[in-house]
Structure 1
Amino acid sequence: MFIESLRKIMGGILLVSLISIGFSSFFQEYINIPKSITVFEGQQLQLAKAVPVSVSLNHNNSSVSLRDKKNTINISGTEQGNNEMLLELAGFPIKKVDVNVLKDFKVIPGGQSIGVKLNSVGVLVVGHHQVNTNDGKKSPGEIAGIKVGDIITKINGQRIEKMSDVAPFVKDSGEKGKPLQVVISRESGEFTTNLQPLKDENEESYKLGLYIRDSAAGIGTMTFYEPKSMKYGALGHVISDMDTKKPIVVADGQIVRSTVTSIEKGSNGDPGEKLARFSSDREVIGNIKRNSPFGIFGELNKDISNGISDKPLPISLSHQVKEGPAQILTVVDNDKVELFDIEIVSTIPQKFPATKGMVLKVTDKNLLEKTGGIVQGMSGSPIIQDGKLIGAVTHVFVNDPTSGYGVHIEWMLNEAGIDIYEKPRQKAS
């Protein structure tokens, strides 16, 4: 009877002990260690650990080195490859952590103000207008089922690249009374429609009843470029047409240097704007090959300098970014790139490409005095934390111009066609 009671007491003590361990700080530290860790060659990562836990590597290769200290685990990426870290408690394995070491990678941060010139694929329909005919006002474009946001890519089998390509077809069709065969690109797909130009009685000319545009221009900020391939990323968000609000499908484009002439300071409800002009020499410094939700991308013609941080910097992946102090590189006066203080308010360790990965707040008194916070034209300004490029400014909060969103740099690199996850080459046996 006594022995049975003793067993129950000991069992209760053991259960309470296990529960207390489960909620203890060092057990929580063990739980918080991720199942997978990624570092770059030459980088170190420090993790907090429970005091009784010991660590070791499962594979005998040189990709990772460990320093098992009393309260921390120091992980160093020594060579591109993979390994497995084992955590043990009293000689029993309690967790396995995959460690992936990526090839050493650095990019040169931007911050320069750039002018952007985009040429769309075909010509973009941005509106309808009524043609004054003998039978009243009509829009041939509407009659043909063409909508705002559609892109005219071909007329009578011929590719359309700019607005001036359209006029000869319209004149010829009107004079012959033969409708045009127009190929339309729309988000839902591509289709062909017949479009008959009508004669405007007031102007004695044939018209389509459409407003069209073939290019767009604006300013933004360079984020980075990779010095070997000369691939770059800028803006951090998609360029949309000002009338249709739809992303511009890029045929080609150019970036040029630009100079900030003045700042319209932001306030609640009004985010403000950088006022800038293209540099007088209009020198093209790069092309534009892609316009995506993560910015514009292409290749530079030559190296460019920001005059403040021109050395290649390592990057941080989304799960390595932390809340706390950071800085941005941007221009608020002429073409001078400056470094300003910000705070990373929150960050999401994204596993898949997505915009708005960080929330940031401008804390720099000088920048707040000049701009009120984040203004239009600042998009693409590189974000630096602990000497690493972590992302770019993308959007401002309209009701709080001191704050806004940022995009993680790894997604911009992916859109630029830069593979940071390149697999190691097999060694010859």
Structure 2
Amino acid sequence: MLKLSIQLNQEMRSVNMKKSRQIIQLILLVSFLIPFSHVSAETVSEVIPGGQSVGVKLHTTGVIVVGFSPVQTDDGKVSTAEQAGVKTGDIILQLNGEKIENMNAFIQEMKKLEESKKPVELLLKRKEHIFPLSINPIYDVKDEAYRLGLFIRDATAGIGTLTFYHPDTKKYGALGHIIMDHQTKKPIDIYNGKIVTSDITSINKGKNGTPGEKKARFSMDDDSLGTISINSDYGIFGKLNNESILKNHNDPIPVAKSNEVKEGKAKILTVVEDDEVKSFDIEIISSVPSKNPETKGMVIKITDPELLKKTGGIVQGMSGSPIIQDGKLVGAVTHVFLNDPTSGYGVHVEWMLNEAGLQIESDEELNKAS
């Protein structure tokens, strides 16, 4: 830290005060975005399995560029942002030094440019890189305002399935896979989010080459069931602050490590109508007992006649449905095979628990407890 401070002071002497402020601002922002190392995980032996359908709303860090909207000028249509090097999927963190937390903040800052032709200074995040970019706004003769030629968004919504809930820590896991932006096809870098109750209204059955889909009814104005703090390869995670979604499904069951899962019969818990959680038969075709986290550690097949009749197999919105084998929670449904909607991938619950900051108790710890 001392070496960094000395180096920074030396650099600041050789640049003007404006540049100094930009450097300090950038360093502080990068420091804020770099995550701390994981603290020691809470050990668990049981969790409450889910299966409930939930509505999901994510707010991005800053605003995300989802496309370009060329500005009408006297010389034709132009997007100065695209010309300057902005790319779809970039996240705008700051505009002229002001933090951008949502669409409204971006719009308000752009309004300040109505009487100015000065370049706009953006701070962008692209994957793991954060960098400044200067763009000349251009006058839109149609709207009579200065524009950058961007389509942006600060939130996205959808449905998924709750996988587990740990009542001692209030932590939950859902979906079993990362949420991607449907327009940019890139992972959503979240600022915060929430889950709410959701009722299934209808189902489009899956067919070869076309995934099916659950249709759900929910409102993001409803009271929050819980927060979303992590959107990772293993699902979304946060804390449940309202246990009403569990209803009568609140009996904990043991959790299994990846090396305990075996090929053979199992069940999944999911909702196919209204908000009723039901159990359906499946078969675990294969399971790879990896010592390292794996997002597609299982291949599963739906065998339950009732579920096949209603859904055709695995459908969108079923992601996160808990997989139970021999009375233990072993994983969650994650993906469907496009050429065979009756089959798909699952993730071992061990890796979902780890992502939530929970760790399955070792045999030694269980023996001591007993």
CA RMSD of aligned residues (A): 1.9
Amino acid at match of 2:169: S
More displaced 10-residue stretch of structure 1: 406-415 or 281-290: 281-290
Equivalenced residue count is 324
Contact 2:230 2:238 in 1 (8 A): yes
- Alignment-derived partner of residue 11 in structure 2: none
- The match for 2:161 among 217, 221, 227 is 221
Match of 2:289 in 1: 349
> Is the 8 Å Cα contact of residues 391 and 408 (structure 1) preserved in structure 2?
yes
TM-score, with structure 2 as normaliser: 0.84
| Counterpart among 51, 66, 74 of residue 134 in structure 1 | 74
CA contact (8 A) 1:397 1:403 kept: yes
* 2:136 counterpart of 1:196: yes
1:163 to 103, 106, 120: 103
Q: Choose which of 320, 323, 345 in structure 2 pairs with 1:380.
A: 320
Runs of 4+ in 1 over 6 A off after TM superposition: none
The 8 Å contact of residues 224 and 242 in structure 2, kept in 1 or not, is answered as no
Deviation, structure 1 residue 379: 0.2
Query: 1:230–1:300: 8 Å Cα contact kept in structure 2?
Result: yes
Quote the offset at 1:297 in angstroms. Answer: 0.3
Residue segments in structure 2 that go unaligned for 5+ positions in a row: 1-41
Residues 308 and 172 of structure 1, relative CA distance in 2, 3 Å threshold: closer
Q: State yes or no: 1:107 paired with 2:47.
A: yes
1: CA distance between counterparts of 2:190 and 2:287?
Answer: 31
Residues in 2 aligned to 1:171 and 1:134: alpha-carbon distance in whole angstroms: 21
Q: What do the CA deviations read for 1:31-81 (whole angstroms, capped 9, x no partner)?
A: xxxxxxxxxxxxxxxxxxxxxxxxxxxxxxxxxxxxxxxxxxxxxxxxxxx
Which amino acid in 2 is paired with 1:348? V
SS of 2:180 mapped into structure 1: coil
Contact 1:173-1:196 at 8 Å conserved across structures: no
* Secondary structure of 1:166's aligned partner: helix
Aligned amino acid, residue 127 of structure 1: G
Identity %: 57
SS at match of 1:177: coil
Cα distance in 2 between the residues matched to 1:275 and 1:245: 21
The structural deviation recorded for 1:388 is 0.2
Give 1 or 2: higher strand fraction.
1
Pick from 317, 327, 339 the counterpart of residue 399 of structure 1: 339
Query: 1:207-246 alignment to 2 at 5 Å?
Result: 207-246=147-186
Matches within 5 A, 1:136-155: 136-155=76-95
Q: In 1, Cα distance between the equivalents of 2:245 and 2:51?
A: 9
Structure of larger gyration radius? 1
What amino acid is aligned across from residue 169 of structure 1 in structure 2? E
Deviations 1:380-415 (A, max 9, x none): 000000000000000000110000000000000011
**Alignment partner of 1:257 out of 197, 202, 207:** 197
CA distance in 2, matches of 1:308, 1:291: 28
Q: Distance in 1 between matches of 2:361 and 2:117?
A: 59
8 Å CA contact 1:170, 1:208 repeated in 2: no
Question: 1:346 & 1:274 partners in 2: Cα distance?
Answer: 26
Structure ranking higher on relative contact order (CA contacts 8 Å, 6+ apart) = 2
In structure 2, the CA distance between the partners of 1:333 and 1:279, relative to structure 1 (3 Å rule), is farther
Alpha-carbon shift at residue 225 of structure 1 (Å) = 0.7
Report the alpha carbon displacement of residue 226 of structure 1 after superposing the two structures with TM: 0.3
* Contact kept in structure 1, 2:43 and 2:358, CA below 8 Å: no
